[in-house]
Amino acid sequence: MKKLILGLAVTASSLAFAQQTPTTSTNPVTFGIKGGMNVSSLSQGADLDDSKSKIGFNAGVFANIPVATNFSIQPEVLYNDLGSKVVYKNNIPVVGEYKREYSRNLGYVAVPVMFQYNVIPNLYLEAGPEFGFLVSAKDKFKSSTNGDANGSTTSDLNKDDFQTFNFGIGIGAGYYFTDNLGITARYTAGVTDIYKNNSGDAVRNNVFQVGLAFKFK
């Protein structure tokens, strides 16, 4: 809870800073919503051998705060669906192809604070830290035979085995087609180990995100 309050305090401090600091920009603070697709992975597979990227989603809100000509700070609050998956395929005589898919699904409330530079009025580059707070941890298993689903099961993982706090560094870009609507892309590399008391190599979240952003004018 203390770490969640810290992350929200960072967002609030950014807003307060923008309100009190004079700038050469005449642009007002704008607010918006965003969402899109995650392609996430775990650096060591999180106990899943031969793990691959998992498709997930992100969605949330943001504030864009001009602090100087061509520069702004964009704090966000997002829900981030992260994790990884592994797929096994076997050809069974008479039966055909039997496919098993295991996925680790980690849900975070993320607070990115992006520092943005406008290359041209509608195109920006960005970089900054992301503070994440684990809210759910689940494993999902599903199987199919010759493409026909056999069923699926979901099991809750013990969140006490995971670090509540996740820290990453993001870089990205975005382009606004109109004053309101734009496309965004960002890669965030995890810095902290997702596990508590991990005696092996650190397991880190990594994610590529692409989506749409809408500013309210």
Residue environment code for 102-120, b if the CB has 16+ CB neighbours within 10 A, otherwise e = bbbbbbbbbbbbbebebee
Strand partners, 139: 104, 155
d(CA 135, CA 151): 26
Q: What would the mean pLDDT of 54-58 be, rounded to a whole number?
A: 95
- Flag whether pLDDT at 4 surpasses 70: no
In this structure, are residues 78 and 109 in contact, taking their beta carbons and an 8 Å threshold?
Answer: yes
Q: What would the mean pLDDT of 42-48 be, rounded to a whole number?
A: 65
Q: Which two tokens stand for residue 189?
A: 């590399």
pLDDT at 207: 97
What pTM, to 2 d.p., does this model score? 0.83
pLDDT at 18: 44
Q: What would the mean pLDDT of 20-27 be, rounded to a whole number?
A: 54
What mean pLDDT value characterizes the chain?
86
217/29: higher pLDDT: 29
Q: What is the DSSP string of the chain?
A: -HHHHHHHHHHHHHHHHHHHS--S--PPPEEEEEEEEEEEEETT-TT-TT-B-EEEEEEEEEEEEEEETTEEEEEEEEEEEEEEEEEEEEEETTTEEEEEEEEEEEEEEEEEEEEEEEEETTEEEEEEEEEEEEEEEEEEEEEEETTEEEEEEEEE--GGGB-SEEEEEEEEEEEESSSSEEEEEEEEEE-S-SBSS--SS---EEEEEEEEEEEE-
- Flag whether pLDDT at 13 surpasses 60: no
- Flag whether pLDDT at 19 surpasses 70: no
- Flag whether pLDDT at 41 surpasses 80: yes
pLDDT at 149: 75
Enumerate residues 6+ apart whose C-beta is below 8 A from 26: none
Q: Of 15-19, 35-39, 161-165, 210-214, which gets the smallest average pLDDT?
A: 15-19
Determine phi and psi for 146, rounding to 5 degrees: 55, 40
Query: In percent, how much of the chain has pLDDT > 90?
Result: 64
Write down how long the chain is: 217
Summarize pLDDT for 77-98 with one digit per residue, the tens: 999 999 998 877 777 776 677 8
